[in-house]
């Protein structure tokens, strides 16, 4: 082993050892307040979240370690911690990766990119802004965060929009475009009621528990101005700041669009038909009740047919990166383990006991309730917030003096504020499809999270006060 490789190994091992010691300390402190199984789960959560956030090791390694540790110690049964592999979300991510490989193999990405380029403008900041807003507008049409990512990222990735605009592999301009597509289709869209799974889970639980339905228009008015438009603006500014780049070279795109093969060929039309049929299946899941992952898996069976000509014959061996799939399975399995051990509920109950709620201090109480939702999202994932917090809404309303509706709607501020990518399957999907470094996505998450806490949430509290929510 060379001196350089020894130094590199040491620079990786020491921080990882530090994270392991931190997780052991966290589990030890947890023993003072939690049952042993929940304290151990807390330690595992700390080490996984820290390793995923810092990228000291590849994203799949904490997931594999998680599977091994939990199955060996029986903190949770194998069917719980390995449930990610049987979840619809896992196979939806797999479907998206196959779709991306097929779109690239057939060259359909070039054709779709040529159409999109006409809408993006001639300046780099215009490209970033319009890509982000285009992703946000898709949320009014496509009620699935992963579905929007699967549609938009392959167009912007590989040799599509970024290459046609002259941005080379690993350039800041390329990363900027892909991150704008990823975050634009996700973070601001929580302000639109049917756009994401947590929104719909929130609506369903509110109706089931309290007999109150949530109006599409009321939800939009309450959340879209700040958590939608303003957050989209923050994403644009953060990406332009972190990934400055020169204006695109439209001569590259013009050369490609002027080629004689610019029109769709027969195979590209067939692929487009398969994709559209799959998207229709996703949009109508409330009618046929087949999970989106299984619809996508059926489409994959068509696209992976050996002589179909949609993908390379060695697609599964050569074109797919399985690291993000293990990452996704690890995230889902960790969330399932947290739910199984009851760690999330224990932490929320503990927080409600120690939170300094004050009678009459409604703004402070609203901020504290929002903080509880944020904490739940960090402990588990954003989809867990409605499942854990909603059943406690009536009790929290009585403690804080806020209305039941204000407590329920405060959850939106929680699950629309993401600290790290592991909390959100659509971001995991974007990392896989766009081959984005986890560290870069984490950096955008962290900065956006900080700006949201300092600026956007206070603005949203002010907007709610104007609307008479508290």
pLDDT one-digit tens code per residue, 109-141: 777 766 677 777 778 898 899 999 989 988 887
Tokens 């949609």 correspond to 310
pLDDT one-digit tens code per residue, 403-417: 999 999 999 999 999
Residue 3 has pLDDT above 50, yes or no: no
Average pLDDT over residues 242-257: 69
For every residue of 132-186, DSSP letters joined together read: HHHHHHHTTT---HHHHHHHHHHHHSTTSHHHHTTPPTT-HHHHHHHHHHHHHTT
Residue 180 and residue 148: Cα distance in Å, rounded?
Answer: 13
The answer to the question of residue 463 being in a domain is yes
Last residue of a domain, one of 17, 46, 75: 75
The answer to the question of residue 207 being in a domain is no
Residues 338 and 304 in one domain: no
Residue 358 has pLDDT above 70, yes or no: yes
Residue 170 and residue 177: Cα distance in Å, rounded?
Answer: 12
Residues 268 and 404 in one domain: no
What pLDDT does 191 receive?
93
The answer to the question of residue 42 being in a domain is yes
What pLDDT does 451 receive?
97
Residue 74 and residue 36: Cα distance in Å, rounded?
Answer: 12
Residue 59 and residue 75: Cα distance in Å, rounded?
Answer: 22
The answer to the question of residue 378 being in a domain is yes
- Position 446 confidence tier, pLDDT thresholds 50, 70, 90: very high
Residues 351 and 429 in one domain: yes
The answer to the question of residue 229 being in a domain is yes
The answer to the question of residue 7 being in a domain is yes
Residues 334 and 251 in one domain: no
What pLDDT does 236 receive?
97
- Position 142 confidence tier, pLDDT thresholds 50, 70, 90: confident
Q: What total number of domains does the chain contain? A: 3
What pLDDT does 2 receive?
46
- Position 4 confidence tier, pLDDT thresholds 50, 70, 90: very low
Last residue of a domain, one of 309, 334, 362: 309
Each residue of 81-108: b (16+ CB within 10 Å) or e? Answer: bbbbeebbbbbbbbbbbbbbbbbbbbbb
Residues 290 and 184 in one domain: yes
- 427: containing domain: 325-467
Average pLDDT over residues 341-345: 81
Residues 71 and 183 in one domain: no
> Rounded mean pLDDT of the chain?
83
pTM above 0.75, yes or no: no
What pLDDT does 160 receive?
46
Last residue of a domain, one of 54, 75, 96: 75
pLDDT one-digit tens code per residue, 72-104: 999 999 988 998 888 777 887 788 778 878 887
- Position 155 confidence tier, pLDDT thresholds 50, 70, 90: confident
Residues 279 and 348 in one domain: no
Residues 116 and 35 in one domain: no
The 8-class DSSP code of residue 456 comes to I
Residue 247 and residue 9: Cα distance in Å, rounded?
Answer: 39
Residue 110 and residue 290: Cα distance in Å, rounded?
Answer: 32
The pair of three-digit structure tokens given for residue 364, joined into one six-digit string: 């402070």
The answer to the question of residue 353 being in a domain is yes
Residues 300 and 363 in one domain: no
Helix, strand, or coil (residue 314): coil
Residues 159 and 291 in one domain: yes
8 Å CB contact between 112 and 155? yes
Residue 240 and residue 412: Cα distance in Å, rounded?
Answer: 26
pLDDT one-digit tens code per residue, 157-211: 643 465 667 777 788 888 999 999 999 999 999 999 878 878 877 887 787 778 8
Residues 114 and 252 in one domain: yes
Residue 156 has pLDDT above 80, yes or no: no
Helical axes 404-415 vs 197-210, angle rounded to 10°? 160
Residue 266 has pLDDT above 80, yes or no: yes
What pLDDT does 202 receive?
84
The pair of three-digit structure tokens given for residue 17, joined into one six-digit string: 């050892």
The answer to the question of residue 233 being in a domain is yes
8 Å CB contact between 113 and 155? yes
Residue 408 and residue 1: Cα distance in Å, rounded?
Answer: 57
pLDDT one-digit tens code per residue, 7-55: 455 567 888 888 889 889 988 988 888 899 999 998 998 888 788 777 7
What pLDDT does 432 receive?
81
Residues 131 and 249 in one domain: yes
């Amino acid at each position: 082993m060379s001196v350089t490789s020894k130094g590199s190994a040491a620079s990786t091992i020491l921080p990882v050892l530090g994270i392991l010691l931190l997780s052991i300390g966290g589990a030890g402190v947890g023993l003072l307040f939690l049952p042993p199984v929940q304290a151990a789960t807390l330690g595992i959560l700390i080490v996984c979240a820290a390793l995923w956030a810092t990228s000291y090791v590849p994203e799949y390694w904490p997931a594999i370690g998680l599977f091994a540790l939990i199955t060996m110690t029986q903190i949770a049964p194998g069917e719980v911690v390995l449930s990610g592999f049987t979840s619809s979300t896992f196979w939806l991510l797999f479907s998206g990766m196959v779709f991306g490989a097929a779109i690239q193999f057939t060259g359909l990405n070039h054709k779709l990119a040529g159409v999109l380029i006409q809408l993006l403008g001639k300046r780099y900041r215009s490209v970033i802004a319009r890509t982000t807003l285009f992703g946000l507008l898709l949320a009014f049409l496509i009620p699935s965060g992963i579905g929007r990512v699967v549609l938009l990222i392959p167009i912007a990735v590989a040799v599509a929009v970024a290459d046609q605009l002259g941005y080379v592999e690993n350039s800041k301009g390329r990363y900027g475009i892909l991150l704008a597509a990823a975050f634009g289709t996700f973070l601001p869209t929580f302000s639109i009621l049917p756009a994401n799974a947590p929104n719909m889970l929130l609506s369903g639980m509110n109706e089931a528990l309290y007999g109150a339905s949530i109006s599409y228009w009321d939800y939009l008015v309450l959340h879209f101005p700040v958590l939608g438009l303003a957050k989209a603006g923050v994403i644009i500014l953060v990406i332009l700041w972190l990934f400055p780049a020169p204006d695109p070279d439209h001569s590259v795109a013009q050369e490609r669009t002027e080629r004689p093969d610019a029109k769709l060929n027969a195979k590209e039309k067939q692929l487009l038909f398969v994709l559209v049929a799959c998207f229709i299946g996703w949009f109508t899941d409330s009618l046929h009740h087949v999970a989106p992952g299984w619809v996508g898996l059926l489409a994959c069976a068509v696209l992976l047919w050996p002589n179909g000509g949609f993908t390379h014959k060695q697609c599964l061996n050569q074109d797919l990166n399985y690291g993000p799939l293990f990452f996704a399975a690890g995230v889902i399995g960790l969330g399932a383990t947290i739910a199984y051990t009851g760690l999330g509920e224990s932490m929320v109950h503990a927080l409600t006991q120690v939170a300094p709620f004050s009678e009459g201090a409604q703004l402070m109480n609203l901020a504290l309730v929002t903080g509880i939702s944020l904490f739940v999202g960090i402990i588990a994932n954003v989809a867990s917030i409605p499942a854990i917090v909603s059943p406690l809404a009536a009790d929290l309303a009585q403690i804080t003096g806020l209305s039941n509706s204000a407590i329920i709607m405060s959850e939106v501020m929680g699950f629309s504020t993401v600290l790290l990518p592991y909390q959100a399957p659509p971001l995991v999907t974007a990392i896989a499809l766009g081959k984005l470094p986890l560290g870069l996505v984490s950096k955008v998450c962290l900065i956006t999270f900080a700006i949201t806490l300092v600026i956007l949430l206070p603005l949203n509290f002010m907007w709610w006060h104007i609307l008479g929510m508290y």
